[in-house]
Structure 1
């Protein structure tokens, strides 16, 4: 190696200065992150429900991100996220800031995984990280939407049976609160039982039964439940017997459930058409046509 290939002293000093500044910046950033992690306040979850498993796996980074996101979240966005949390049954488990922070945490995890895979496969890391972050965020939001839809289907499926149980209890001589308690104790586990437990909890906390039922209708935001709550409140205000009213509501909900099942059965052939054309038919034609094509090739055609 000749002397001309060695770096000049000025270049060496510049390189050392840049390395020193980069190391100092990295150390300062690490110190700030460590301080924010140490000073993360403890969350009092005495009166809160446990977060779902998909969120509990990343609960610690979710809380840390939520602490920074919460002051930046506007009031309208907070109310919109709270409405979605009610529909998913998570408003007593997760705050709006934590829901948004969980989406960011899953996106960051997806970006890290995609960057590691891209580095191993020698592909652009930045573009892969952006794609991974987008995929992670969409996965978190899709999980939340699927949970809300599954909860709605389960609730509407259980509603006729629970209404029949409440009707039997009322016709046996219990009042509405006693009938709701029996439905909670003897009814099937699911979102409807959880919502009835919240109604009883609101009544024990001092709210009137009509107000607790109205809050139930607002949380679920379903036409069948809103109609049921309106019928119960109107019957109580007019002094009517709740037995016939609830029995009529149960029959109507059962008819609606049968109509939804018929609609799903009629939609099934249409939904199966695309998988049949795209996946099953080509494989079938390939299996049937391959021996014929080989015979033609053997015959020299």
Structure 2
């Protein structure tokens, strides 16, 4: 009860400060919600009007989606921010674009949105903090905190992207052996490679939606007329997983030299299962080493206290009076 009273008195004493923080938070949330409803309302109005406008069977008078996106308000706001921090070298842009694709962001505006988000966070986090401190005295600590928030806001998208890319790669790598077994079954059943990719993409979706999307996208590229070697290389680049790259290289060589696809996939699937078992054994062997620090610093001291504590208390209660009497 006393703790709650102390918290209550602290809030009363700093009511202006916490109230200002709450107002800033509500203002930012309200602004974001307003922008969302403004842009979402336009699409809802178009959908409602579309119910009453007679549909044309053959002629589509709507503006192309790409042109509409390029002329949109969001693009006009994001593009200047993108130009401020966009890398000048084409190779750097390609690497950033590939990294975003490996993280699951395939949109045409992914690079622009990513760089604009870095600028917005780098300006918004210290801006909100400094605005909250505007009614109080500034100091070197406040400036240091604002600088740290600026750096944090600028590099926070990098951390999120790296985490998302790593999680996506692990998801694909974990589901790949099962997908490879499905490919072996489909090929041995007489399906072609294109239909195999399509079928595996459907069946593997409950296990890994990312790998399913990659199979479907590769199948769509092949259906659109791209050479198979190019579609396989694109899938390896989009995933960034070494196992997928090895599989695509194997398919390219099989397609080039005309070897048996079913036999090749069966041998590769067996190698993948062996590698998966070896990886599990390696992780099990590392577990004993990783348990040393928790055992030494946490479990052993508690165990010693439980085992030796009563004996130590017994010795102290018996020997100390005897030694004191002597």
Query: Which of 118, 132, 146 pairs up with 1:103?
Result: 118
Residue 180, structure 1, aligned to residue 197, structure 2: yes
- 1:156 and 1:257 in contact (8 A); partners too: no
2:87 aligned residue: 73
Residue 237, structure 1, aligned to residue 256, structure 2: yes
- CA deviation string 1:166-185 (max 9, x = no partner): 11111111101111111112
Aligned-pair distance for 1:262? 2.7
- 2:218 and 2:232 in contact (8 A); partners too: yes
Distance 1:257 1:120 in 2: 60
Segments of structure 2 that go 5 or more residues without pairing to the other structure are 1-34, 36-41, 43-62, 67-72
Q: Which moved more, 1:180-189 or 1:161-170?
A: 180-189
Aligned-pair distance for 1:84? 1.4
- 1:78 and 1:97 in contact (8 A); partners too: no
Distance 2:273 2:242 in 1: 14
Aligned-pair distance for 1:284? 4.1
Aligned-pair distance for 1:219? 2.2
Segments of structure 1 that go 5 or more residues without pairing to the other structure are 1-36, 48-59
Query: Which of 74, 83, 89 pairs up with 2:104?
Result: 89
- CA deviation string 1:80-127 (max 9, x = no partner): 211212322323365323222222323334324544666689663222
Distance 2:164 2:174 in 1: 15
Distance 1:151 1:229 in 2: 18
Mark the CA change 1:232 to 1:80 in structure 2 (over 3 Å): closer, same or farther: closer
- 2:184 and 2:266 in contact (8 A); partners too: yes
Mark the CA change 1:168 to 1:88 in structure 2 (over 3 Å): closer, same or farther: same
Aligned-pair distance for 1:277? 6.2
Query: Which of 183, 195, 209 pairs up with 1:166?
Result: 183
Aligned-pair distance for 1:210? 2.2
Q: Which moved more, 1:249-258 or 1:99-108?
A: 99-108
Q: What TM-score does the superposition give when structure 1 sets the normalisation length?
A: 0.66
| SS of residue paired to 1:261 | helix
2:3 aligned residue: none
2:237 aligned residue: 218
Q: Which moved more, 1:102-111 or 1:79-88?
A: 102-111
1:251 aligned residue: 270
Query: Which of 215, 228, 231 pairs up with 1:209?
Result: 228
CA RMSD of aligned residues (A): 4.0
Aligned-pair distance for 1:78? 1.2
The number of residue pairs the alignment matches comes to 246
- 2:81 and 2:119 in contact (8 A); partners too: no
Q: What TM-score does the superposition give when structure 2 sets the normalisation length?
A: 0.62
